Every structure is written in structure tokens, then in C-alpha cells.
Amino acid sequence: MKYNELQVSANKDRKRVGRGIAAGGGKTAGRGTKGQGSRTGKKLGPMFQGGQRSLVTAVPKARGFKSLRTPAQVVYLDHLNAFKGKTVDNFTLFEQGYVATPFHTVKVIARGELTEKVTLKVQAASKSVKEAIVKAGGSFEKTPTPLKKSTKEAEKADK
């Protein structure tokens, strides 16, 4: 007889447990003795950790990197024409409605042309914006982001 002539069925019958000692899967039927796993109706997922919060639920589902830094508020170069000969900072931009809050980083980027002379005092500006401001006769000064005054400090100032 040759190996390729063996008559073996590809699908073996499953082992029927709990059919007596002689059948080879009697008494505890492969479940061990006591405990949760030995009881009927045990349907616990593969990630179940005995009631403890599983690692799968603890780790965030979203993949990749999420930056916690808030992006800079953008102001365009052609907006600065509205401030003819004035000093432009976070607060003046906020008052005119160009930025949502004066307490976040502001960056001026190039769009259109600057025709007026302005003194720009914000956190960042692109290289081409700096050149355009100097060309128009103005100046750029990098300043730190202004911080909100706490309510306690404001109360002390009022007294």
C-alpha cells in the first residue's frame, strides 16, 4: 500500500463529549472541575477579562497621531489693508472680527497685496508676508501669545 492510496476521510467526526467514561470524554467532559468555564451557558467573548475593563475597550479605536496643539488662527495679508498706518495685534484683529479669540496664536499668510503701511505684532507670519510688510514701509514684530487674565487678578485690579 502506498501513502497516496490510503482511504482516509478528510472530515473527521467531532468528539462527542459527556457520553460516559468509555467514550473517552466522560464526567467533566473536558471542562475541568469547577468554575465559570465548567458551567453551562458560558458565552464569554475572547476579550473578556473576568469583569475587569479589557485592554481592547481601554485603548482608543482611532489609529494614528492626534496633536493636542491648537492650530493657529489664519489672517490673510490683504486684510491688513483695513488697518491703515496702525499697529496690528491680536486684540485689534479680534475687535475687527478677523480672529475668533485674541488668546490663541495668530499667523498671517500671503494672499492679495498689501498697499498700506502697518506695524504687525503677532505670533507668526510667512516669509513672503514679512517681505511684503517691509516693502510697504511697515514692520513685523514677533510677540508671545497673550494670556487671559484670571478672574482673581481682575478682582484685585478693581480694588
Which band of pLDDT confidence, cut at 50, 70 and 90, is reported for residue 10?
confident
Q: Is the pLDDT of residue 93 over 90?
A: yes
> Which pLDDT tens digit goes with each residue over 64-89?
888 888 999 999 999 999 988 889 99
Write b or e for each residue in 68-101: b if 16 or more Cβ atoms lie within 10 A of its Cβ, otherwise e: eeeebbebebebbeebeeeebbbebbbeeebbee
CB 119 within 8 A of CB 86: yes
Strand-pairing partners, residue 73, are: 106
In contact, 118 and 89? CB cutoff 8 Å: no
Residue where the block lists cell 499697529: 87
Is 106 in a helix, a strand, or coil? Answer: strand
Domains of the chain: 73-142 (3.100.10.10)
d(CA 56, CA 47): 7
Q: How many CB atoms lie within 10 A of CB 44?
A: 10
Q: Rounded to two decimals, what is the model's pTM?
A: 0.56
Q: Model confidence over 40-55: pLDDT tens digits?
A: 887 788 888 888 998 8
